[in-house]
Structure 1
Amino acid sequence: MPADQGLRVLQVTGRSVGGAAEHVLLLTRLLAAQGVDVRVALFGEGPLDTALVATGRPVHQLLPGSGGGAAAAWTAGPVGLVAGFVRLVRLLRREPVDIVHTHTSVAGVVGRLAAVVARVPIRIHMVHSVPGAHPGPRWRRAAGRWVERLLAHLTTEYVAGSHAAAALLRDGLPRRAPQGTTIHYSFDPEALARGATAAAEWRAQWHPEGDEVVVGIVGRLEPQKGVLELLPALPPLLAANRQIRLVLVGDGSLRPAVERSLADLGIAYRVLLTGWVERGGAVMPALDVLALPSRWEPFGIVNLEAAAAGVPVVAFAVDGVPEVVADGETGVLVRPGDTAAFADALGLLCADPQRRAALGAAARRRVERQFLPAEMAQAHVRLYRRCRG
């Protein structure tokens, strides 16, 4: 039964790439199924634009012709961002909504300011990465904290995808600011179903012999994801385990550096770079192990996608990852930054098919108990109703 047919929500986000965009796509589809009049506005073109349009909900491009660069909203420049702001204000006045729900950094700033100008009564911001809480240039971290403290006074409520992200957020906000609600991310069952059907085809592309253990790193090739730091620890692992096939699923600004590192380390022939895959979660059923070497990760949707596919995870125990991966129960957690221990954990898991199966089965059961898509959508509807009063 529809949850609330009278509720009008505009989700505002950046370019449609990465975990935040996957979340917006899933949430849009689920909210529509709940009877919510949900729309989407994008700051930049991206690879998931077509999938968003396919939901049947209105999708508005605020930076047309941005070319889908890796950080379209950042690189649009002041003129582009002002133009996007004006387009968003006009959109909100032309098609009024009850709630503007923003995602990502630039879209979160511009979206909330536009909502204030357009007199939208409820402004909710989802924190996918806590401003100023993670490595980066000192000036950008300070600016992020300062801007969010100012915007807190214009924000009705915050949403965090993990308890860890919520705690980091509260530490940086003024005392009287909204304290935030944790709504865990979920996974896309449709993408996983397609992936299960195509698993044999994926594996045939990756390793013609068919007897390797496939370890996947799924995500953007960007500094946050820690791939460059992990690569030097892999030659001993690959030399001692001839059955391992490493697949890097994704693309990004570090791809040339990753390719150079693989060549310098002499392991390029053991590693496949697939490039961008439209729905990264779809490859999970084709993997035997997911590796997540992220330096910071507020949650890591790929962890859920792997668990739902029955694939165990080896990850650094950073931020919200332990909320998804239970060490020794659904995967293996490693002390952050210890790449040698990370490689050792991969080796042990790849050599033990029974343990992989047990961890994967436990991961699937845990996801089915705690991270179901319908429950995530219902939690958002409850939040919207509470904010509306």
Structure 2
Amino acid sequence: MKLDRLLHYVSLDGAGGVEQQFVEFVRVAREQGVSNHNVVACGRRVHPLIRARLEASQAAVTFEKYAGRFKLPKWPASLRAGRQRRLVATQQPDAVVIWNRLRDSLDTLAAAGAERTIYWERGASWFAGDSEDKRRFLAEVPAIICNSYAARRMLELRWEYRGQIRVVHNALRPSLLPAQAIEPRRLPNSGQVVLGVVARLQPIKGVALAIHALALLREQGWDASLRIAGDGPETQRLQSEVQRLGVGAHVIFEGLVAEMPAFYQRIDLLVHPALREPFGQIAVEAGAYGIPAVVAAVDGLVEVIDDGVTGLCVKPTRSLSDYRELGGGEEDLPPYVYDPVSDTIDTPKVVDPNELARAIAACLDDADRYRAMSTQAIAAVARRFVFDDHVHEALASIDAFVHLGRLDPGARP
């Protein structure tokens, strides 16, 4: 591999999925021989957790829109454009990687040059806002790595992207690997089953649907409970819905969970009825611990869960107006999602709680089937979602694009 110096443009204000994937990517990329990584932080700060881990990886951080404490104004535009040219000229990277930023990247592309700029799509193509700058950036950037096939199709169908695209699926971060070999799970002999949700508590994650499914299961005689890992703006609304449905004694809001391996030991099945999910990292994580999953058949989730093998995928069929009646919010919902069945983009729909409850019951009412799903979930993560392989494939794609003009290193000239 000829790559040695990468310059990354990425927002690091938070410590969510993209940021966590990024810092582990940098560390493993160094181990694989790409030793020099410089980072341009595109927001106001670098989250303390992320900063500490970047420092451990010896990655230098500068800020895109700040010169010291002074934020560069948008006008005159030459100030920020000049800042971009100086950053690229100082770092002299082999390649520039723009992480999940469709907007505000035109100056970066102009400064670096299209021949060494790669955009890494990880969900931004779902966001609201169809601006001229986004369209122009996608018209000019020649190569994109996507974290899922769904992301590829969103770019092609919604944004009419016609450049090179290579899908490099996300993988299980090394920091989340089980400390020891995981044995396939068995259903508890007591008959008490514990469902789990892992999500930021916001409307897009569909947590209200999981609560309704729990209430339905209990009405059907299941001794079921629900544990929710995560917090967010919908917490109070969801807690009210729990009380309204009369399942307060059977739902535990755990808030932010620091030790996720322990959380997975507390649950029997992951439930993830998200309205939008460009990939589905949580389902990979649960699978590593032998937890089958019931998920919405939307966007990239069907690329993680092998329907009927490692869990079940439930097609969303109900409208957003139904979602409001079920206690879901309307804030920050995407204008479009990708339907992997019809290979089209459409307005978001939600999973019917009755269908969700039916799928959960199907996973839990057969002990042999459940154990087989657990076995296959562990095997799938070990085979398909290995982080070293993920980093190697991404680096090989970047290297091939910079030196051969193509993202696929195995393609013919």
Coarse TM-score class (shorter-chain normalised): 0.7 to 0.9
Question: Are residue 339 (structure 1) and residue 325 (structure 2) matched?
Answer: no
Q: Paired residue for 2:232, among 249, 252, 258?
A: 252
Query: Where do 1:351-362 residues align within 5 Å?
Result: 351-362=365-376
Displacement of 1:330? 0.9
AA matched with 2:8 = L
Q: Output the CA distance in 1 between the equivalents of 2:261 and 2:175.
A: 10
- Give yes or no for contact 2:114–2:141 (8 Å, CA) kept in 1: no
Displacement of 1:110? 2.9
Which position in structure 1 is the counterpart of 2:364? 350
Q: Output the CA distance in 1 between the equivalents of 2:72 and 2:237.
A: 26
Displacement of 1:366? 2.1
What whole-Å deviation, never above 9, does each CA across 1:15-38 have from its counterpart, x for those lacking one? 333332232133222212112123
Displacement of 1:102? 1.9
Which position in structure 2 is the counterpart of 1:380? 394
Displacement of 1:150? 0.8
Q: Output the CA distance in 1 between the equivalents of 2:163 and 2:259.
A: 34
Q: Paired residue for 2:378, among 328, 344, 364?
A: 364
Secondary structure of the residue aligned to 2:110 is helix
Q: Paired residue for 2:151, among 151, 155, 165?
A: 165
Displacement of 1:51? 5.8
Q: Output the CA distance in 2 between the equivalents of 1:352 and 1:364.
A: 19
- Give yes or no for contact 1:192–1:284 (8 Å, CA) kept in 2: no
Q: Output the CA distance in 1 between the equivalents of 2:238 and 2:204.
A: 14
What whole-Å deviation, never above 9, does each CA across 1:120-163 have from its counterpart, x for those lacking one? 852211222252x57xxxxx3433xx443210233231111111
Query: Where do 1:60-99 residues align within 5 Å?
Result: 60=61, 62=63, 91-99=87-95
- Give yes or no for contact 1:295–1:316 (8 Å, CA) kept in 2: yes
Displacement of 1:48? 4.3
Displacement of 1:329? 0.8
Displacement of 1:281? 7.0
Displacement of 1:56? 1.9
5+ residue gaps, structure 2? 183-189, 317-350, 404-413
1:338 to 1:94, Cα distance in 2 relative to 1, 3 A = same
1:39 to 1:219, Cα distance in 2 relative to 1, 3 A = farther
1:96 to 1:115, Cα distance in 2 relative to 1, 3 A = farther
Secondary structure of the residue aligned to 1:326 is coil
- Give yes or no for contact 1:245–1:270 (8 Å, CA) kept in 2: yes
What whole-Å deviation, never above 9, does each CA across 1:181-221 have from its counterpart, x for those lacking one? 11111002432325989xxxxxxxxxxxx984332111211
Question: Are residue 263 (structure 1) and residue 261 (structure 2) matched?
Answer: no
Which position in structure 1 is the counterpart of 2:54? 53
Which position in structure 1 is the counterpart of 2:166? 181
1:25 to 1:213, Cα distance in 2 relative to 1, 3 A = farther
Q: Once structures 1 and 2 are overlaid, which stretch shifts more, 341-350 or 154-163?
A: 341-350
Displacement of 1:384? 1.3
AA matched with 2:172 = F
Displacement of 1:241? 5.2
1:14 to 1:77, Cα distance in 2 relative to 1, 3 A = farther
Displacement of 1:359? 0.1
Which position in structure 1 is the counterpart of 2:37? 38
Q: Output the CA distance in 1 between the equivalents of 2:113 and 2:290.
A: 46
* Structure ID, larger Rg: 2
Q: Paired residue for 2:276, among 296, 310, 314?
A: 296
1:189 to 1:214, Cα distance in 2 relative to 1, 3 A = farther
Question: Are residue 153 (structure 1) and residue 118 (structure 2) matched?
Answer: no
Q: Output the CA distance in 1 between the equivalents of 2:180 and 2:160.
A: 44
5+ residue gaps, structure 1? 66-75, 135-139, 198-209
- Give yes or no for contact 1:294–1:315 (8 Å, CA) kept in 2: yes
What whole-Å deviation, never above 9, does each CA across 1:349-375 have from its counterpart, x for those lacking one? 234443222101112222222222121
- Give yes or no for contact 1:99–1:120 (8 Å, CA) kept in 2: no
- Give yes or no for contact 1:124–1:159 (8 Å, CA) kept in 2: yes
1:85 to 1:17, Cα distance in 2 relative to 1, 3 A = farther
- Give yes or no for contact 1:216–1:289 (8 Å, CA) kept in 2: yes
Q: CA RMSD in A?
A: 3.5
Displacement of 1:383? 1.1
Which position in structure 1 is the counterpart of 2:119? 125
Query: Size of the alignment, in residue pairs?
Result: 353
Answer 1 or 2: which has greater helix percent. 1
Q: Output the CA distance in 2 between the equivalents of 1:300 and 1:280.
A: 16
1:60 to 1:6, Cα distance in 2 relative to 1, 3 A = closer
1:319 to 1:99, Cα distance in 2 relative to 1, 3 A = same
Which position in structure 1 is the counterpart of 2:308? 328
Which position in structure 2 is the counterpart of 1:16? 14
1:77 to 1:86, Cα distance in 2 relative to 1, 3 A = closer
Secondary structure of the residue aligned to 1:180 is strand
Q: Output the CA distance in 2 between the equivalents of 1:318 and 1:63.
A: 34
Secondary structure of the residue aligned to 2:104 is helix
Q: Output the CA distance in 2 between the equivalents of 1:152 and 1:118.
A: 15
Which position in structure 1 is the counterpart of 2:216? 236
Which position in structure 2 is the counterpart of 1:72? none
Secondary structure of the residue aligned to 1:142 is coil
Secondary structure of the residue aligned to 2:196 is strand
Question: Are residue 190 (structure 1) and residue 175 (structure 2) matched?
Answer: yes
**Greater relative contact order: 1 or 2 (C-alpha under 8 angstroms, separation 6 or more)?**
2
Which position in structure 2 is the counterpart of 1:201? none
Displacement of 1:253? 2.0
Secondary structure of the residue aligned to 1:299 is coil
Q: Output the CA distance in 2 between the equivalents of 1:165 and 1:180.
A: 10
Q: Output the CA distance in 1 between the equivalents of 2:159 and 2:107.
A: 18
